[in-house]
Amino acid sequence: MNAPIPLRILVVQPLYGGSLTVGRYAVSALRELGHVVEVFEGPAFNGSFNALKSMRIGSDRLDALESSFLQIVSQAVLAQAEAFEPDLVLAPAQAPLSRQALSRLRRDGVLTAMWFVEDYNLFTYWKGFAPHYDVFAVIQKEPFLSHLAEIGVRNALYLPLAGLESFHRPMELDSVEKRKYGADISFLGAGYPNRRVAFRQLLNYDFRIWGSDWEGDPLLATRLQRAGERIEPEEAVKIFAASRINLNLHSSVRPDPPVGRGDFVNPRTFELACCGAFQLVDERSLLGECFAEDELATFTDMESLTTAIDHYLAHPEERSAMAEKARRRALDEHTYTARMRSLLAFIDERFPGRLGSSRGQALEAWSKALPESMRGEVLALLERLQLSRDASFKDLVWRLRQQQGALSGVETAILFLDEWQKQYGVQKHVG
């Protein structure tokens, strides 16, 4: 963007799923960049959505109820957008935004973007929704980009996944954690068909499997940790750090071949790299654009996988050197901060002058009209709330209203001034 002004961004989280974590990392990155971010928490509605499935009704009636429920959730998103007045609504894949809601946001002049972090071949709902977003960011290139152009999507952006620098980082584990999480080889992820076939061939190694959806496989059950419960990100980084080799096999709904040759690069690749953890990853057509051959160890089939496992278990110095190179590359190019910068720059290029156009007068300029004593308090308040001096008056008011507890004198004065402006219609002068 031409000017690093803070934007007001509403992130609409899905009700559940893997893109929920991506959305949370994007929120963290946007806040680290100094933007004012509000989150629509889709998971808060997931319990009610799941309750519909427990009803003893026909599938047609259930589909109708689920559709009606999601329309209500979309209306809740619109209500939050109306209150927050964002410059941009950012939606990870599966976000509960209906076509009608997207049309309403467009009519109201609010830019929208989806980060579609899924395989377009498997999740085809993009065909009905992509044209309704102003920007559609994807993790695959051709032929997906051409398919999007064919249905009228003019602003498609290739935006691969990433790691969160402030979270995915090397860890020093104590002896208890090393025993709890450590192994020669570890895998963290869901039990897709190709992984089940591949991992049955690795049972002669010290091999641990972490994650869910591995039911019904007695052979792999001997290696499955914690009965297949879901592993939260805070534990995932400990598993990465404790494992000599982190096996990273991309998922496939087809069991044969167990090692395919897909295109997109999964989030685990970047997260492991940011953590400085050694990984063996299956070759992907887009992987070479992200990492060099001396930064990541790859395999193309089961034979090359077992050969690589034997080699790298015997050469810890090579593991360390490669992991460090991958970490440097990831921190330079493949963080969520970098991805959000790219996304916002793309939007600013395609919609010049739209981002931040109604943010109001910057607080630093506005505060100069205040008495010296109060001006110092306002600037100190900005620092405490982690707001840039380029933030607007309404950014400060929004952040204050999100706080809990007693208000200071200057905070009370600011909120009183905001209410006075609303009452007498002079918001345009300072907001």
Given a contact cutoff of 8 angstroms between Cβ atoms, the answer to whether 416 and 405 are in contact is no
Q: Are residues 255 and 400 in the same domain?
A: no
Boundary of a domain, candidates 350, 379, 407: 350
Domain residues for the domain of 391 are: 363-429
CATH number at residue 299: 3.40.50.2000
For the chain, list residues with pLDDT below 50: 1-3, 427-431
Q: Are residues 342 and 417 in the same domain?
A: no
Question: Is 1 a member of any domain?
Answer: no
Report the distance separating Cα 297 and Cα 322, nearest Å. Answer: 8
Report the distance separating Cα 218 and Cα 209, nearest Å. Answer: 13
Q: CA separation (Å) from 390 to 179, 305, 397?
A: 49, 52, 14
Q: Are residues 193 and 157 in the same domain?
A: no
Report the distance separating Cα 1 and Cα 9, nearest Å. Answer: 15
Report residue 186 as tokens.
């570890």
Question: Is 135 a member of any domain?
Answer: yes
Q: Are residues 258 and 341 in the same domain?
A: no
Q: Are residues 328 and 393 in the same domain?
A: no
Using H for helix, E for strand and C for coil, what is the string for 109-121?
A: CCEEEEEECCCCC
Boundary of a domain, candidates 289, 318, 350: 350
Question: Is 342 a member of any domain?
Answer: yes
Given a contact cutoff of 8 angstroms between Cβ atoms, the answer to whether 88 and 64 are in contact is no
Report residue 79 as tokens.
């209500």
Q: Are residues 194 and 269 in the same domain?
A: yes
Given a contact cutoff of 8 angstroms between Cβ atoms, the answer to whether 268 and 248 are in contact is yes
Report the distance separating Cα 190 and Cα 208, nearest Å. Answer: 13
Question: Is 167 a member of any domain?
Answer: no
Contacts of 154 (CB under 8 A, 6+ apart): none
Q: What is the pLDDT of residue 366?
A: 56
Q: End-to-end CA distance of the chain, in Å?
A: 22
Q: Are residues 189 and 309 in the same domain?
A: yes
Q: Are residues 328 and 181 in the same domain?
A: yes
Question: Is 169 a member of any domain?
Answer: no
- Give pLDDT tens digits for 264-283: 999 999 999 999 999 999 99
Question: Is 358 a member of any domain?
Answer: no
Report the distance separating Cα 311 and Cα 305, nearest Å. Answer: 10
Report the distance separating Cα 345 and Cα 2, nearest Å. Answer: 8
Look up residue 366 and give its DSSP letter. H
Q: Are residues 18 and 158 in the same domain?
A: yes
Q: Say which amino acid occupies 425.
A: G
Boundary of a domain, candidates 286, 316, 350: 350
Q: CA separation (Å) from 120 to 237, 318, 347?
A: 28, 36, 22
Query: How many domains would you assign to the chain?
Result: 3
Q: Are residues 179 and 325 in the same domain?
A: yes
Report the distance separating Cα 231 and Cα 323, nearest Å. Answer: 23
Question: Is 156 a member of any domain?
Answer: yes
Q: Are residues 284 and 401 in the same domain?
A: no
Across 82-150, the runs of DSSP E, i.e. the strands, are: 88-92, 111-116, 135-138
Q: Are residues 326 and 397 in the same domain?
A: no
Report the distance separating Cα 387 and Cα 367, nearest Å. Answer: 14
Model pTM?
0.87
Question: Is 131 a member of any domain?
Answer: yes
